[in-house]
Amino acid sequence: MTPSAITHIPAVNPATLMTTCRPGPGYRLAFVSIPLLMEHCLAIPIRDAFRTLPPLSFSTHDFREPFLGPDEITTLNRFKALKKQIEWMAGRYAAKQLARQFIDGRPSLDSTRVAYRTKGAPYLAQNPSLSLSISHSWDYAVAGLGLSPARVLGLDLEKIRPESRNTLLKTAFTDREAKALPPMDDDGLFLRWTAKEAYLKYIGQGFHESLKRIEILDNTIFHHARPVPSLTLCSLLPLTGYAFSMVC
Q: What is the CATH number of the domain that holds 51?
A: 3.90.470.20
1 pLDDT band, cuts 50/70/90, is very low
pLDDT for 125 equals 94
Q: Which residues contact 117 (CB under 8 A, 6 or more apart)?
A: 123, 204
Instruction: Look up the domain containing 165 and give its range.
Output: 157-247
- Give the separation between CA 94 and CA 33, rounded to whole angstroms: 10
Are 139 and 176 in the same domain?
A: no
With H, G, I as helix, E, B as strand and everything else as coil, classify residue 102. helix
Are 112 and 72 in the same domain?
A: yes
Are 87 and 174 in the same domain?
A: no
2 pLDDT band, cuts 50/70/90, is very low
With a cut of 80, say whether residue 9 has pLDDT above it: no
DSSP string, 157-199: EEE--GGGHHHHHHHH--HHHHHHSPTT-HHHHHHHHHHHHHH
Are 18 and 117 in the same domain?
A: yes
β-pairing, 122-124 vs 140-146, is: unpaired
Instruction: Please report, rounded to a whole number, the percentage of residues in the chain having pLDDT higher than 90.
Output: 78
- The number of beta carbons lying within 10 Å of the beta carbon of residue 125 is 12
pLDDT tens for each residue of 47-69: 778 999 999 999 999 999 899 99
Are 106 and 178 in the same domain?
A: no
Query: Rounded mean pLDDT of 206-235?
Result: 89
Last residue of a domain, one of 83, 117, 149: 149
More confident residue, 183 or 113: 113
pLDDT tens for each residue of 169-188: 999 999 999 888 888 789 99
Are 211 and 122 in the same domain?
A: no
Last residue of a domain, one of 103, 119, 149: 149
pLDDT for 4 equals 42
With a cut of 90, say whether residue 8 has pLDDT above it: no
pLDDT for 7 equals 56
**Residue 126: in which H helix or E strand, if any?**
none
More confident residue, 247 or 206: 247
| Cβ proximity of 210 and 194 under 8 Å | no
Are 130 and 206 in the same domain?
A: no
With a cut of 80, say whether residue 37 has pLDDT above it: yes
Q: How far is CA 210 from the centre of its chain?
A: 19
On average, the pLDDT of the chain sits at 91
Are 106 and 183 in the same domain?
A: no
Are 88 and 42 in the same domain?
A: yes
With a cut of 70, say whether residue 5 has pLDDT above it: no
Instruction: Name the residue among 91, 89, 64, 67 with its Cα closest to residue 78.
Output: 89
- Give the separation between CA 167 and CA 227, rounded to whole angstroms: 26
pLDDT for 111 equals 93
**Count of structural domains, the chain:** 2
Instruction: Please report, rounded to a whole number, the percentage of residues in the chain having pLDDT higher than 70.
Output: 97
118 pLDDT band, cuts 50/70/90, is confident
